[in-house]
Amino acid sequence: QVQLVQSGAEVKKPGASVKVSCKASGYTFTGYYMHWVRQAPGQGLEWMGWIDPNSGGTNYAQKFQGRVTMTRDTSISTAYMDLRGLRSDDTAMYYCARARTGDIFDYWGQGTLVTVSS
Amino acid sequence: DIQMTQSPSSLSASVGDRVTITCRASQGISTYLAWFQQKPGKAPKSLIYSASSLQSGVPSKFSGSGSGTDFTLTISSLQPEDFATYYCQQYNSYPLTFGGGTKVEIK
């Protein structure tokens, strides 16, 4: 069965960086894009971008350009999302989500809470 | 960016009720529309894609319709496990955008 298991909660100071991982199992990792979506406390969902695990190609939302980097390690079927220059409004739950052709999300990770606080 | 507007933002309903949630796109998106269910403290769950196609394993009490700018999600007979927040999402163009959510509560 498809599973996406994310790394644990993080607490970071303003200006720091965070790297969240998403380990995939139950399917061919390189066959599906991986998207990242975040949700601030009590708020809605916000798309951040995707990575193609096969080629390493990426597409980031304009809002995060220059601050986010998405990478992958195909040897361990894991995708990563690195966010730099953290601010208090980056405090959120970060989700990875697998997408079929055409950006159709089907499976989600359990989420990683990132708290930014001095 | 395409804005997605859901209505209502919340609703109260009883077990067994038929519930309809509306999602409107700020410009035409054909049928590139998905619906998600999120329960408190949990990750979203994918319900519908291409406006009306059910994801694998999703019960047939959920249905979606619409094209262009106006879409609906219908739950035919509300059950206790359906009380949650529902989000629509367009994937017609980048950036992918979500509606603000509709919270379905118990009356």
Residues B49-93 have pLDDT tens digits of 999 999 999 999 999 999 999 999 999 999 999 999 999 999 999
Residues A5-56 have pLDDT tens digits of 999 999 999 999 999 999 999 999 999 999 999 999 999 999 999 999 999 9
Residue with tokens 């730099």: A84
CB within 8 Å: B45 and A108: yes
Q: Which residues of A touch B44 (CB under 8 A)?
A: 37, 45, 95, 97, 108
Q: Which long-range contacts (CB under 8 A, 24 or more apart) does A26-33 make?
A: A26/A1, A26/A2, A27/A2, A27/A98, A29/A53, A29/A72, A29/A74, A29/A77, A30/A54, A30/A74, A32/A98, A32/A99, A32/A100, A33/A98, A33/A99, A33/A103
Interface test with A, best of B37, B46, B54, B93 (most A CBs within 10 A): B46
Confidence of residue B107 (pLDDT cuts 50, 70, 90): confident
Phi and psi at residue A101, to the nearest 5°: -50, 135
Phi and psi at residue A17, to the nearest 5°: -120, 160
CB within 8 Å: A108 and B49: no
Assess contact for A10 and A29: CB atoms under 8 A. Answer: no
CA distance B67 to chain A (A): 16
Residue with tokens 């999300």: A105
C-alpha distances in angstroms, A51 versus A80, B24, B31, B53? 9, 28, 24, 25
SS3 B74: strand
Residues 13 through 72 of chain B touching chain A, CB cutoff 8 Å: 32, 34, 36, 43-46, 49-50, 55-56
